[in-house]
Homo-oligomer: A and B are copies of this chain.
């Protein structure tokens, strides 16, 4: 695995960073795509949203039970979006605000400054939406997503 670019968001500290991209629609940033990969972002300007896969580069180690941001009891790691994982890959769906050369301007950011980018995929509702999905332990807690920020627990 080697980065295809780097994500700039200005979030230099974990504390205070939004816990989900969708909870920070006003938060803007930009992606610097490394020169050798720029040809691959052609045609991306027709998509309003993209899926970013990236490294949680400031995560260290993992535990299989964690107290996630939106709960106060331990949950199985894979039932959470916690950043400390056996393979520390993050996933965020962000809005494309514009593309200039090797820069993709985005909004809806929840990554830390300098996050190494692994992949960009087009977001396609017809592929990626599942209406009416059950959300387990998040039921009754998800409404707190937009007022909850990283408190540095991971």
Contacts and interface: CB of A to CB of B under 8 A. Distances in A.
Contacts of A139: 46
**Residue from A49, A120, A135 having most chain B Cβ neighbours under 10 A:** A135
A86 B122 contact: no
B76 A44 contact: yes
Contacts of A20: 127
A64 to B, nearest CB: 4
Contact of A133 (B80, B121, B125): B125
A78 to B, nearest CB: 4
Contact of A43 (B43, B47, B76, B119): B76
Size category, A interface:
35 or more
A154 interface: no
B39 A65 contact: yes
A6 interface: no
B81 A121 contact: yes
Contacts of A76: 39-44
Contacts of A77: 40
